[in-house]
């Protein structure tokens, strides 16, 4: 058995994408994909900004499975870029809805445990495209909490035999 983690980056993106698609009427993509052209028209792009521990780890041990696990509350920050004619509206919509009960309920149905923490107000960050033309782009940074469990192998003993020995007899003083 090697080390494993219960929540992957792919699962985080999948849960967030499902939430975004339930609110937006445009494609939602993950950024930083090699050899992939930027879509045309309106779309939302997700970029992971980092993960940050919110607590120390909580260890647990399982002699029956021969493993130990460590759970740590973790914050995931993600940047959402909105492009197209409705970029401003979409950014405002998501900045508001990420902090709502709707988002909590939608994310509760994800395959992983993830919940929204907060989102900042939208900012206009226009971009110059390959044709040297300005494109409308608004960004929202949002934070979510997930609680990954890292499992590693651990040896346990079911029984021990103790044979006492007189230390001075076995290892005489010098």
Segments making up each domain of the chain, as ranges: 4-170
Alpha-carbon span 94 to 103, nearest angstrom: 10
Torsion of CA 145, 30, 19, 6, to 10 degrees: -40
Q: What is the DSSP letter of 40?
A: S
User: Could you tell me which residues come within 8 angstroms of residue 56 by beta carbon, excluding any fewer than 6 positions away?
Assistant: 72
Local confidence pLDDT in tens for the 174 residues of the chain: 689 999 999 999 999 999 999 999 999 999 977 777 777 889 999 999 999 999 999 999 998 888 999 999 999 999 999 999 999 999 999 999 999 999 999 999 999 999 999 999 999 998 877 778 788 899 999 999 999 999 999 988 888 898 888 888 778 887
- Check residue 32 and give its pLDDT: 76
Query: Are 76 and 144 spatial neighbours (Cβ–Cβ below 8 Å)?
Result: yes
pLDDT number for residue 92? 97
Phi, psi of 54 (to 5 degrees): -105, -10
For residues 74 and 97, give the distance between their C-alpha atoms in angstroms, rounded to a whole number. Answer: 21
pLDDT given for residue 158 in this prediction: 82
Report the distance separating Cα 4 and Cα 72, nearest Å: 14
What is the pLDDT, as a whole number, of residue 27? 95
The answer to whether 139 and 55 are in contact (CB under 8 A) is no
- Domain 4-170 indexed as CATH 2.30.29: no
Look at residue 118 in the predicted model and tell me its pLDDT.
Answer: 95
* Torsions phi, psi for 111 (to 5 deg): -70, -15
């Amino acid at each position: 058995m090697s080390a494993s983690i219960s929540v992957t980056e792919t699962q985080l993106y999948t849960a967030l994408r499902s939430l975004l698609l339930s609110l937006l009427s445009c494609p939602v993509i993950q950024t930083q994909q090699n050899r992939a052209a930027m879509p045309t028209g309106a779309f939302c792009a997700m970029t992971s900004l980092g993960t940050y521990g919110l607590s120390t780890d909580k260890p647990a041990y399982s002699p029956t499975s021969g493993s130990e696990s460590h759970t740590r509350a973790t914050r995931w920050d993600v940047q959402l870029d909105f492009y197209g004619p409705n970029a401003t509206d979409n950014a405002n919509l998501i900045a508001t809805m990420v902090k709502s009960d709707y988002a909590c309920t939608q994310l509760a149905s994800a395959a992983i445990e993830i919940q929204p923490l907060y989102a900042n107000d939208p900012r206009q960050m226009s971009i110059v495209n390959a044709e040297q033309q300005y494109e409308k782009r608004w960004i929202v940074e949002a934070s979510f909490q997930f609680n990954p469990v890292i499992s590693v192998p651990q040896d346990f003993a079911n029984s021990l035999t103790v044979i006492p020995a007189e230390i001075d007899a076995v290892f005489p003083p010098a």
